Structure 1
Amino acid sequence: MKKLILSAALLAGLAFGAKAQTTTTSDEGGIKPVAGEVTMEANVSLLNGGVSLSNSLNQLRGRYFLSDNMAVRLGVNISYNSDAPRPDVESRTIEFSLAPGIEKHFAGTNRLSPYVGADLLFGIKNVHFEDENDRGGGIDRIEIDGSIDNGNNRGFFLIGLAGVAGCDFYVARHLYFGYELGLELSSTKLSEVETTTTYNNGSSITIKTPDESNFNFGPRVRNGIRVGFVF
Structure 2
Amino acid sequence: MFSGKVAIITGSAQGLGKAFSRVLLEQGGKVCLSDVNPNVLEKTYEEFKAEFADSVFSLPCDVTEKEQLREVFRRTKETFGRIDLVVNNAGIVHEVQWEKCIDINLNGTIRGTQLGLEYLRRDNGGNGGVILNMASLAGIFPVNYTPVYCATKHAIIGYTRSWALHPDAVNNGVRLVCLCPSFVDTDMIKMDDKSKYIGPDLAQSVLDKHGVMSIDKITQEFLNAIGDETNNGVSIAITKEGVKNIPSPRP
Superposition TM-score, scaled by structure 1 size: 0.24
Structure ranking higher in strand proportion: 1
Structure ID, larger Rg: 1
TM-score by length of 2: 0.23
